[in-house]
Structure 1
Amino acid sequence: MFESFVHPVLLLLLAVASLVLGWTAYFVHSLRMSRGLFETKISIPYLFYSMSVFAWILSNAFFYSPLLLRVDNNVVVSMALLANLASASAFTFAYLVTRKLVNTIDSALSKNIQNVVFVILISAAIYWNHNVGHTVDGVSVYAIGRFHIDLGEQAALFFLSAITLIVLSFRNILLYSRRTRPLQHIKSLYMLFGISVFMVSTIVIHALIPLFWADFTMSWLPPALAMTEVLLMGYALITSRFYSNRHILFSLLSVLLSCVAITVPLVLVLNSISVYDFTFVIASSCLVTGLLWSTGYKSARRLSSLLVYGQALSPNQKINSLSREFQKSTNSAIEQIAQTLDIDQHDLQLVYNLQDEKAYTSQLYNQNSVLIFEEIEEQVLIHSSVSSVLQQLYLKMKRENVALVLPIFDHDNQMSHLLIARKKRSGHLYFCEEIHALQYVLKKAQGYINADRKVHQAQALANSIAHEMRNPLAQVQLQFEQLNVKLQQNAPRIELEKELLKGKVAIDRGRQLIDIILREVNDASLEQEPAVQTSIKQAVEQAVERYAFDSEEMRQRLSVNITHDFYAKINDTLFNFVIFNLLRNATYYFDSYPKSSIDISTITGKYENFVVIRDSGPGIPKSLQTRIFDDFYSHNKSGGSGLGLGYCRRVMKAFGGSIQCYSKVGSFTEFHLSFPVDSLLRTAQTLPEIDNTNDQNPNKESGQTLRPQSYTILVVDDKEVQRQLVKLLLNQLGYDAILANNGQVALEIIQNNSVDLVFMDIQMPVMNGFEAATIIKQTYPHIPVYALSGESGQRELDKISQIMDGHLTKPTSKEALLATIQKRRQRETIEV
């Protein structure tokens, strides 16, 4: 009995049935986890199809079980009819799945014809198999697995009806594959392969052989092979990620070669020593496999890669091996990855400014998260209930031709970069093995990428400062030389003062450039900066006035023509730096384009208002107009950080607007700064004065200037030259200054003297500025303390804003000191 029970076909069919049942359970689980992502109209027919195949397999397994010899012959005939009905049900629901796939793209005539044919075939199949005599007349049983079925008169028609449903299903999948989207094409290939196996095995074994040769020995094979269609069709329905055909072949070939390499020598050795002890054979096989598998598998993968790809490493292996390359150069590693993926180098980019990519970052949660365009497209175009966020993400990826977005995290598990890949030149998808390889290498290399970012940023900062400071320093040197000549010539005092003024303008220019560069490289969030409703005309004029032009002639080549003023909620300091950056870029080409000029104007609209900055310089090619906003990218300029326009875009986004570039090579370049219209705005507010003023006109004073009147100021700095410079400027403004070289000395001076205001450096020995300012605020809360330092780090700036009353950047100017003191004294007057 035991020998008959373990018929190998029975075991095979039971294993296949278990696999189908397990897969069906997984499919149901995927449906639940998808939260409605898969369409019910497709998933329900597929579930019925899977269960029909399951019933078909079990009904065939009956003929290879001991029950075949124990039950009445009527039961055996009924099981044969049940197998026919189960197969008909499988064909029916497989057809319905394909019918739903093409429901929106098939013609009305074709759908009507198929509906009529479908109803006729199903009705006939049920009629032919509901009773004995139509398809099955009887069954002769000889032994388990050995039987003969007497076919009825309609058996041929029944088989023909099943073949017709398979052919219709095949036709529908071919129609589905003609969709232009690559994802539908590869899904259809999976389904076509599964249904081809199903169709060929059924036609040959269940129709041709029984009808012509009356041989049923292989009748179990089509139900077993139906598993391939169940798996492939189900996989194509629930996923949008597929392995490439070459990778599947490479993997199968690697395993096959490994098994052959171990099995063949093992069999030859065992046969040569004539050992037939089953326990020894099993133990020897396990031992040899355990010892040799790793080495053999590696060799098999190299050989398989040579056979499939023509190279020693497969593409995903090459990507995995590039984690070491990131130690040397991030750019070089990215270039090699792009080459391996068969995309252009510029189509694979590391993005640093995550504030500009919130549409992506909001959908990425961990290292294993990934955004794939085809997946999102599938959800948006097929499912009508997707969120507006997902729709906007789809439109953004489509507009920017982005196919893949992967996150990179730092050591604090905070997202630091995005790897954005555009579509392949071939139009192919990013296959599953490529995505896994990218995730693996990015996870291994994320530390190197973050370190490279900091190094690159520091290099850009040093390079930019070194380059930009050459002109101001050269100007200062020139003024010294001219001043020396005039002194030797005993020139009048007024000429000497003119030379001094030019030197001061050059210094202001250098200080302003440093401020701009430090702003560019600062990664701080801009949304938290205070903003007020401001007249754009006044803001633009103020920014232009504060911009340190190299010469008056350069200033004359700029015109401000704002005939339509409007109001926008901005931070004046951030807005100034946007204008400064755009002016700096435009004036860069003044020497090489002597006839070029700059024009600033406005455009007002119903929903958006614009500031337009136009220059008649060399222009920017259309292909580069989107890239100029990328970090570290610079067009036709040497020495810059490549961060300026990216910073401008972040500022404009913080204002609720945007910045766009329009250009024609050899003609013009325009930057449009857009601001949303505030319909509730009724009155304008003037721009407040900023602490760090770089006004070029030292004689320009407000009508409300407050006279010193015994106002004592404490200057705290560990550098003698800085203390003396500030003291000189304060004395020129008419204020008394007391000097201290660290925070401890400053506290002692305040205890013994009447001090009205403190200018405090931060980094000092003995006691730093933060400690001293904290004690002063606790002990003498009425004394204002202003930071006078070169700090640019966000942490230090945040601490300054928490502890102190304001911040001036050193080296400071007379105008900045005067503006700060006057503003403070005006506040004190109002409070009194």
Structure 2
Amino acid sequence: MSTNKRISEAYRYIEPNLFIIGLFGSIGFPAYYFIWTYLFPQPYENLPLRLVCMVLFVPFAIKDYMPKLFLRYKEKHFVFTICFGLPFFFCYMMIHNEWSIEWIMSFMAAIFLSIIIIYDWLLILISTTIAACTAAFIGYLTMGNISHGFHYSYVIVFSFSYFTGICFNYRNRIEIESKQLFSRSFSNGIAHEMRNPLSALYTSQEVLLELLPESLNDDPKHSRLISNAEITNLRNIIKENISIINNGHSTINLLLNSIDSQKISPHSFHHFSIGDVLNDTLDVYGYQTKSDRDLVLLQINKDNILFGNDILLRYVFFNLLKNSFYYKEKANFKIFISVYSKKNETIISVKDYGKGIPLALIKNIFSEYYTSGKKNNTGLGLSFCKKVIDAFAGSIECYSKENISTTFIIRLPSISSPIVDKIKYDLMTMKSILYIGNQSKILSDINHLAFFYNFTLHRKKNSSHNIVDIDSDNYDCIIIDINSVNSHLLRKIRNKIDTTTINIIFVSHTDYDNKIILSDTYKPYLFEYNHLEVLQKKLISQLFSKRKPNNSLPSPASVAKNRIMIVDDNVSLRLYSGILLKNAGYDVVEADNGLTALNYLQEATVDLILIDSQMPVMSGIEATKEIRTNNKYYAHQHIPIICYSGSLDENQKESFINVGMTDLLLKPTSKAILLRTVNKWLQA
């Protein structure tokens, strides 16, 4: 593990306690000057050195109010401050006080504090060694003889303190990491078991959607005992089910990501409409009876755009609705949801006229595992809701009158508030942005923004060779100087990014003669460049806005009679993909594992392979290695091989590309994305 990564992990480990550390450091250093000078006088004291230590610790106590530029160096400042303020300071003072008992004990305490704060043993060893040696060297320069009062037995005592502390801290760390590993493994197991039925359900729904005609007129020869209205209803139901399944997959991924750090990860945060979230929640909530929907009344005084994750917020509303409906049998039961704005925040009120909560119990309802007598209740719902709202930089409160009503008040900051700006600034450091073009002025401005926000900037010149090499999944946003590319090149770019949700910015210049006309699909992403601030606002807006992939499909006339092989041990998924590809005009052959696929390729040719990564007999990874390296499959060594897998994390993606896979698709995927991806690689 690299030193920078060790520093980052150590900082993340102690970050929740930095305020306490900063408070004690900024107060303790000057306070002990008076203690050792007047109450228990020591031979040597150094007020300027103590003030330096105090200044170094102050940013910990006010870290939420530090300027944005400081945040870039916060991890390095953390390690330097602990190294300077603990082992260096106490070793230096111990030497100047001629190895007195008070300062020997203080130095031992500093060692233990260093171990507690910086849990990484190698960082502790390096920092303590450097600090102690530096203190001894400066002491020698200022005092000359630093051995007065020193005894070699002290080295044994210090070494024992150090290694004992390291051993106990390491044991504690291993225990914590093992619990986290168990939680992740348990969650991954649950997610895997949930994905299988969801995938099968998705398959059946989209196959039905494919087989059902648009209306009776599409199939006049075949009589059906079904009306056009019923067909419309069936198609709408299927589409809703597909949407619910997609949301379920997204929720699973979000929950798993949040478990990793015991808090909600902000990586998926974006702009969303509170009105859309609430309306969607009420539309798809699992009511026990149809009449339950009439018990919920929604009033939105003003729809606001907020910053967070719409799926997680919907989960919060699901939980509040579930808790409210528990007491729906009470007379005159109703649920009122209202949204209104106040200053720089949006306030959401969820009020039910149910049983109410006793005043003495309200303080506990957001605690983990706390239940208020409801059957089959884990006590995790409201605590997770609070974590979600806290992650959005908001707050959630509960007010209740026993046997009358219960009200939950959610306060969320506006997207223009300083606290949201800070979250976005922190997230920008993890963004990767690609610029395509030759205009020096805009490149200079983007470099300026990259320095300020600390995001990663890549650049490709407007050549066809460079465009083909773009892997759009590696970038969070692509900025294209539209006046620097021709129509043919622009079409290649669009084909590369159409099947993803990557954000795009097309920049045009009013003083350029080379004009390219964009279709209506891409016009919202076009703006005329005139100033750095305009580009800055556009970039931030696009990075945190959700873009849907272009779902327009290639026309049947443009599809050649290519042969595609589907390799998957799941029969229903082979059926699903096969029907979609056949209806799009492709020839399709199927194989149930990698070995069957290889046997077929020795006797016939295909133009593209869709292959699962994990299968019995021979996996997709092993089959891909054979195709790319074995001369028996020379005719297929350069054809597109698309990994069509149910699980794709970053490490897996890298390993799949390294073995020779051309592209990656997470199944189940929509018809549009499947066909566009296949068509893209067949035309490449």
Q: Same fold (TM over 0.5)?
A: no
Larger Rg: 1
TM interval, short-chain normalised: 0.3 to 0.5
TM-score scaled by length of structure 2? 0.41
